[in-house]
């Protein structure tokens, strides 16, 4: 094991390293720094976040640039604003004794003119997000024609986020003979293509195994019905009273909804996604860092660059579309030598994805059961007991002790303990008493796989659902997701109550369970939306998916008259338009009401 001195760094950097308290180089630093110091070479480094890779490229870049010059010599591209700022801060700390050093962050959501002004003052190193950088180049606010070192940090993530074109464009403004250092947690084909295209005979280093997730993270999955996903999430949180976690959802909307529902249910949670203002995101991140919130619900994009060391659990509320993204998610925990758990809540239709992830991370998942109510109550009770046992006594109580003793004169110790614990425990007990089992056995018939994304069309052939025709469609601004939301909101239905939604130009179809038929038809009797009659009728094809999806019933005739003219002939449901069903019902609200999970009162969690 070498020291920072052995790596050949100069005294200014060594002094900063001492100030930072870094005692020895991390693996990626040990491997990358000598290569980058010794030669002008391109480099591909496979390393996870949290391995110290900023310093691995940062120290050599700081050592090599000329701080006496005001020319921009180094460009670091990173996927998100958070990461961009984090790298900038680290670079400033590493270069604090490099007199004259100016590192400037360039990212969206902040004044472009201010950033341009800072660069004009002479920025030797620019740390940028690709979108804003491209914009600055276009407006001629920055000159990168003389850079000698470019870093593509988290290259896989930048490509995941669709920055390929921007990166290509930016690099076309840089000299061909510069050195390019690419850092990536995974090596999907796109990253290899970029490396081939922009790099010249790069040296390669790998920290850990390629694409392997951090070794101190264990991976678990929980198989539930899709409609029980939110309940499962709550149980996993309740079964881990000291959880400090990031929950990943696929869409901004789901992220917001899950966070809102958790907050409403008394959890200490916050949302982090791209629809929030920068200010809101900063506030959430600050609360999370300070552990004022215990559960951060985030999208993949927004969570990039979260640099918080103590995350105990990552919960995949939904799996990512790309299995590689799972590595980034699980890498949020198990940092800084700590252990972590990455949990996945899956429905039957997704379980096969676990296998592909296992291949990528080179590790096995453990299938576990969602804890039942009794387990959770026990965990909560023991957690409370431990908290009380470890609580420091507040001696302000001393002066009231005699009155309290008087009150409990006839109560023995056991009884007193029971009473004391009941204050907190009864809420949990009432909530979880007689709770149902949420686990689904592997290989069993999955009712909900039909609902998610609609890949399984078996439901259509069963007689338990009703297919409806509705006289609104694409022309009225509805796609299948918007229509599904509209129907759910109108009739106050749950996440899975409306399914097989298919929109055409001027009309659409959807299904509900048979028992909702009366409610649906009653709701849409004489129903007006934005000044026009919206008409719902039963379609003859109960399941959907056939070409001749016709309406039936006498009520249909009456409503027919109100339908906007000229649309009757195109009321066929083309079987070729199932693409939408393959997508997940990502905009859906998780079931908040716990109708099947007993009890109306929910336990409210105390804040940390
Ligand atoms: P990074 O992977 O660059 O995001 O680094 C993760 C964290 O590790 C940052 O907070 C760094 O300041 C810290 N770090 C980087 N190198 C070392 C080192 N050699 N020893 C201790 N901490 C380090």
- Write out the E strands in 190-252: 203-206, 217-223, 245-248
User: Quick one: average pLDDT of 555-562?
Assistant: 40
55 CA distance to ligand 1 middle (Å): 7
pLDDT tens for 438-479 read 888 776 544 433 333 332 223 334 467 889 999 999 888 888
Per-residue pLDDT for 417 more than 70? yes
Q: What is the CA radius of gyration of the chain?
A: 29
Counting residues of the chain whose pLDDT is more than 90, the rounded percentage is 46
**pLDDT given for residue 594 in this prediction:** 31
CA distances from 267 to 296, 589, 592 (A): 11, 17, 13
Tokens of 392: 């420091």
**pLDDT given for residue 577 in this prediction:** 33
Q: What 8-state DSSP symbol labels residue 274?
A: T
20 CA distance to ligand 1 middle (Å): 10
58 CA distance to ligand 1 middle (Å): 11
Q: Can you tell me which residue has the tokens 């890498």?
A: 331
**pLDDT given for residue 463 in this prediction:** 63
Tokens of 291: 């552990």
**pLDDT given for residue 211 in this prediction:** 42
50 CA distance to ligand 1 middle (Å): 6
338 CA distance to ligand 1 middle (Å): 14
User: Quick one: average pLDDT of 150-166?
Assistant: 86
Asked if 123 and 84 count as a contact pair (C-beta separation under 8 A), the reply is no
Lowest mean pLDDT among 126-130, 177-181, 259-263, 550-554: 550-554
**pLDDT given for residue 563 in this prediction:** 41
270 - beta bridge partners?
A: 296
CA distances from 560 to 469, 506, 528, 565, 567 (A): 11, 14, 14, 9, 10
Pick the atom of ligand 1 nearest to 93's CA.
Answer: 12
Backbone angles phi, psi at 605, to 5 degrees: -85, 145
Asked if 342 and 221 count as a contact pair (C-beta separation under 8 A), the reply is no
Per-residue pLDDT for 546 more than 50? no
**pLDDT given for residue 435 in this prediction:** 81
**pLDDT given for residue 453 in this prediction:** 32
Q: Which of 1, 31, 55 to mutate to test the pocket of ligand 1 (most atoms within 8 A of CB)?
A: 55
- CA pair distance 59, 14, nearest whole angstrom: 10
Return the residue whose CA atom lies nearest to atom 14 of ligand 1.
Answer: 52
- CA pair distance 107, 83, nearest whole angstrom: 10
Lowest mean pLDDT among 197-206, 300-309, 480-489: 300-309
Return the residue whose CA atom lies nearest to atom 9 of ligand 1.
Answer: 52
Q: Name which of 260, 294, 282, 279 is nearest 271 in CA terms.
A: 260
Q: Strand 508-513 and strand 499-503: pairing? A: antiparallel
17 CA distance to ligand 1 middle (Å): 10
Q: For 290-337, give the DSSP string.
A: TTSSSEEEE-HHHHTT---TT--EEEESS--SSHHHHHHHHTTSS-TT
Per-residue pLDDT for 545 more than 50? no
Asked if 229 and 590 count as a contact pair (C-beta separation under 8 A), the reply is yes
Per-residue pLDDT for 532 more than 90? no
Return the residue whose CA atom lies nearest to atom 5 of ligand 1.
Answer: 52
Q: What 8-state DSSP symbol labels residue 447?
A: G
**pLDDT given for residue 305 in this prediction:** 62
**pLDDT given for residue 552 in this prediction:** 47
User: Quick one: average pLDDT of 574-589?
Assistant: 30
Lowest mean pLDDT among 150-154, 269-273, 296-300, 575-579: 575-579
Q: Which of 52, 151, 309 to mutate to test the pocket of ligand 1 (most atoms within 8 A of CB)?
A: 52
How many CB atoms sit inside 10 A of residue 20's CB? 13
Counting residues of the chain whose pLDDT is more than 70, the rounded percentage is 83
Return the residue whose CA atom lies nearest to atom 19 of ligand 1.
Answer: 25
Looking at per-residue pLDDT, the higher value among 152 and 451 belongs to 152
CB under 6 Å to ligand 1: residues?
22, 25-26, 29, 49-55, 90, 307
pLDDT tens for 132-141 read 999 999 999 9
**pLDDT given for residue 172 in this prediction:** 94
pLDDT tens for 261-286 read 999 888 999 999 988 888 888 899 99
- CA pair distance 102, 85, nearest whole angstrom: 14
**pLDDT given for residue 63 in this prediction:** 96
51 CA distance to ligand 1 middle (Å): 6
Per-residue pLDDT for 562 more than 70? no
Per-residue pLDDT for 580 more than 50? no
**pLDDT given for residue 336 in this prediction:** 65
**pLDDT given for residue 72 in this prediction:** 97
Return the residue whose CA atom lies nearest to atom 8 of ligand 1.
Answer: 52
Per-residue pLDDT for 235 more than 70? yes
- CA pair distance 273, 253, nearest whole angstrom: 9
Q: At what angle do helices 323-330 and 351-361 cross, to 10 degrees?
A: 70
26 CA distance to ligand 1 middle (Å): 8
Q: Name which of 157, 187, 29, 139 is nearest 83 in CA terms.
A: 157
Pick the atom of ligand 1 nearest to 50's CA.
Answer: 2
Asked if 503 and 486 count as a contact pair (C-beta separation under 8 A), the reply is no
Per-residue pLDDT for 499 more than 80? yes
**pLDDT given for residue 558 in this prediction:** 40
Q: Is the pTM of this model over 0.75?
A: no
Per-residue pLDDT for 437 more than 80? yes
574 CA distance to ligand 1 middle (Å): 56
Which residues in 189-219 are b (16+ Cβ under 10 Å) and which e?
A: eebeebbeebbeebbebbbbeebbbbeebbb
Lowest mean pLDDT among 155-164, 257-266, 396-405, 482-491: 155-164
Per-residue pLDDT for 606 more than 90? no
User: Quick one: average pLDDT of 565-570?
Assistant: 36
**pLDDT given for residue 351 in this prediction:** 85
Mean of the per-residue pLDDT values for the chain? 82
118 CA distance to ligand 1 middle (Å): 27
Pick the atom of ligand 1 nearest to 86's CA.
Answer: 4
Asked if 509 and 467 count as a contact pair (C-beta separation under 8 A), the reply is yes
Tokens of 317: 């509320």
Q: What 8-state DSSP symbol labels residue 607?
A: P
**pLDDT given for residue 152 in this prediction:** 96
List domains and CATH numbers for the chain.
5-206 (3.40.50.300), 217-367 (3.40.50.300), 373-432 (no CATH), 446-576 (3.30.70.330)
Banded model confidence at residue 434, pLDDT cuts 50, 70, 90? confident
Backbone angles phi, psi at 104, to 5 degrees: -120, 135
């Amino acid at each position: 094991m070498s020291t920072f001195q052995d790596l050949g760094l100069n005294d200014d950097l060594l002094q900063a390293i001492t100030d930072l308290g870094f005692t020895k180089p991390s693996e990626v630093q040990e491997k990358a720094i000598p290569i980058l110091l010794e030669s002008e070479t391109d480099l591909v480094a496979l390393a996870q976040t949290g391995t110290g890779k900023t310093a691995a490229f940062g120290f050599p870049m700081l050592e090599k640039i000329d701080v006496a010059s005001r020319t921009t010599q180094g460009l670091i591209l990173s996927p998100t604003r958070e990461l961009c700022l984090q790298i900038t801060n680290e670079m400033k700390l590493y270069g604090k004794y490099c007199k004259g050093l100016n590192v400037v962050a360039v990212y969206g959501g902040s004044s472009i003119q201010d950033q341009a002004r800072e660069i004009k003052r002479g920025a030797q190193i620019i740390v940028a997000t690709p979108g804003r950088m491209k914009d600055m180049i276009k407006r001629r606010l920055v000159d990168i024609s003389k850079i000698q070192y470019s870093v593509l940090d988290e290259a896989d993530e930048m490509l995941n986020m669709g920055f390929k074109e921007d990166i290509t464009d930016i690099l076309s403004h840089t000299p061909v003979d510069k050195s390019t250092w690419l850092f990536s947690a995974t090596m999907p084909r796109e990253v290899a293509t970029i490396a081939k295209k922009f790099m010249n005979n790069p040296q390669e280093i790998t920290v850990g195994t390629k694409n392997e997730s951090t070794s101190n993270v264990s991976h678990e999955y929980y198989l539930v019905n899709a409609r029980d996903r939110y309940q499962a999430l709550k149980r996993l949180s309740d079964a881990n009273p000291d959880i400090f976690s990031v929950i990943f959802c696929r869409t901004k909307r789901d992220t917001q909804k899950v966070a809102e529902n958790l907050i409403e249910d008394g959890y200490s949670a916050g949302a982090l996604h791209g629809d929030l203002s920068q200010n809101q995101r900063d506030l959430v991140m600050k609360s999370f860092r300070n552990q004022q919130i215990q559960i951060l619900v985030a999208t993949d994009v927004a969570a990039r660059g979260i640099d918080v060391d103590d995350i105990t659990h990552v919960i995949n509320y939904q799996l990512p579309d790309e299995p590689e993204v799972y590595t980034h998610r699980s890498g949020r925990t198990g940092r800084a030598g700590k252990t972590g758990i990455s949990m996945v809540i899956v429905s039957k239709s997704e379980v096969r994805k676990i296998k592909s992830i296992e291949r990528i991370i080179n590790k096995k998942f453990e299938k576990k059961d969602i804890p039942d109510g009794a387990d959770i109550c026990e965990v909560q009770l023991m957690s409370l007991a431990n908290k009380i046992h470890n609580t420091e006594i507040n001696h302000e109580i001393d002066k009231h002790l005699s009155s309290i003793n008087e009150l409990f004169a006839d109560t023995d110790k056991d009884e007193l303990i029971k009473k004391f614990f009941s204050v907190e425990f009864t809420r949990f007990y009432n909530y979880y008493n007689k709770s149902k089992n949420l686990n689904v056995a592997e290989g069993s018939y999955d009712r909900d796989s039909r609902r998610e994304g609609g890949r399984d069309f078996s439901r259509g052939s069963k007689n338990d659902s009703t297919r409806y025709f509705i006289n609104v469609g694409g022309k009225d601004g509805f796609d299948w997701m918007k229509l599904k939301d509209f129907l759910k909101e109108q009739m106050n239905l749950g996440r899975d109550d409306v399914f097989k939604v298919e929109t055409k130009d001027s009309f659409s179809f959807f299904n509900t369970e048979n028992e909702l038929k009366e409610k649906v038809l009653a709701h849409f009797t004489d129903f007006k939306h934005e000044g026009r009659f919206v008409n719902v009728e039963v379609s003859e094809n109960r399941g959907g998916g056939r070409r001749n999806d016709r309406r039936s019933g006498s009520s249909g005739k009456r409503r027919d008259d109100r339908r906007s003219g000229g649309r009757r002939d195109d009321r066929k449901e083309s079987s070729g338009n199932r693409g939408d069903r393959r997508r997940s019902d990502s905009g859906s609200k998780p079931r908040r009401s716990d109708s099947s999970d007993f009890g109306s009162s929910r336990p409210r969690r105390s804040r940390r």
